[in-house]
Amino acid sequence: MIKTPYYLIDKSKLLRNMEKIAYVREHSGAKALLALKCFATWSVFDLMSQYMDGTTSSSLNEVKLGKLKFGGETHAYSVAYADDEIEEVLAHSDKIIFNSIGQLERFDAASAGQVRGLRLNPGVSSSEFLIADPSRPFSRLGEWDAAKVEQVLDRISGFMIHNNCENSDFALFDQMLGQIEEKFGPLLAQPRISWVSLGGGIHFTGEGYPLDRFCARLKAFAERYGVQLYLEPGEAAITLSTSLEVTVLDTLYNGKQLAIVDSSIEAHMLDLLIYRQPAKMDPCDGPHQYMVCGKSCLAGDIFGEFRFDHELKVGDRLSFIDAAGYTMVKKNWFNGVSMPAIAVRQLDGSVELVREFGFDDFVNSLS
């Protein structure tokens, strides 16, 4: 048995998402780029690269990772590029997307030979959380004034518009795409504009999502404006593919039954702490309810409350599901809690331990 804690990526579950992405590519004409900001565990890129067209990034490090480990198209985006990194960004990307007209003008000469795009902000989004809302008041994410954008059309050939966030509602996606067309339609219809990325956050691999209606909407949009569409699935690419495997270290009672495990929500599932959401575990309707807690010193290091069909004891193993998106990329060394290893269940059912982290990794992450 692999020593806990560890992330377990199941390729058979990952494949289900890849097949839905392939279906959308085929029936809509859209290309699909993996959003590395959500998931960047390159040990499974061998499978994912067979079903996706490349990667999109949010930093120089992600650009290089996508180019070197995934292949295909490599789109570079960043909220702001620094002078000392732009040359390397350009060398490792096929397209560069600037967040603002200011950045486009600042790096105009350096990027003149590159396919260039600009991020647009339509002012609407599906986010329920202000912290993740790209269209929040005073947002720094993209240009919103169509008149200003029109003045730099001669320097770009495409746009990126990312305003979906965990959006599993096709009707809402359709409505917001209509609002984008209403606000930016004249820009999209310009002859120079040959590609448009609709970003990520569209949960089209979820159960029951109307894929055919989605494909038809994408195809109609692409044909109306004469553009190559791109999608940037992150969570949609890896949803329900990965678990965080942990072991119970202690149990106690303090008004509720508590179980402490060898992991930490702040260190290993940080997004759940940020958004005040519980971890997920396969449903169990047993009579024994426990609050499962992490081992860090943070008082609120709590995975959630779960029911079990037996009393938990030291040594029991628990499995938190859906633990890949915005989780593995955010893991950290808080409290020096052991970093989870990474294991992959191959398509033949065998489990391979692909990476462990030890004291040297902890030391080398500091100074």
155-170 per-position pLDDT tens digit = 999 999 999 999 999 9
* Third-level CATH fold of 11-237: TIM Barrel (3.20.20)
Tell me how far apart the alpha carbons of residues 367 and 362 are, in angstroms, rounded to a whole number: 10
Residues of the chain under the 50 pLDDT cut: none
Length of the chain in terms of residues written: 367
CA-nearest of 112, 364, 341, 125 to 246 is: 341
Token representation of residue 4: 């806990």
Confidence (pLDDT) at 341? 98
Question: How distant, in Å, are the alpha carbons of 30, 75, 158, 160, 311 from that of 53?
Answer: 10, 11, 17, 16, 47
Tell me how far apart the alpha carbons of residues 253 and 262 are, in angstroms, rounded to a whole number: 18
Question: How distant, in Å, are the alpha carbons of 8, 173, 250, 291, 318 from that of 259?
Answer: 22, 41, 6, 6, 11
Say which amino acid occupies 175: Q
The number of beta carbons lying within 10 Å of the beta carbon of residue 120 is 24
Confidence (pLDDT) at 285? 84
**Residues facing 320 on adjacent strands:** 244, 281
108 is in an annotated binding site: no
Taking only the tens place, the pLDDT of each residue in 341-361 is 999 999 999 999 999 999 999
* Third-level CATH fold of 242-323+331-365: Lyase, Ornithine Decarboxylase; Chain A, domain 1 (2.40.37)
**Residues facing 167 on adjacent strands:** 202
Contacts of 222 (CB under 8 A, 6+ apart): 28, 29, 30, 196, 228, 229
Confidence (pLDDT) at 283? 80
Q: Where are the beta strands (DSSP E) in 187-301?
A: 195-197, 228-231, 242-253, 257-261, 280-281, 288-293
Specify the pTM: 0.96
- Token look-up 């993996």 returns 34
- Domain positions in the chain are 11-237, 242-323+331-365
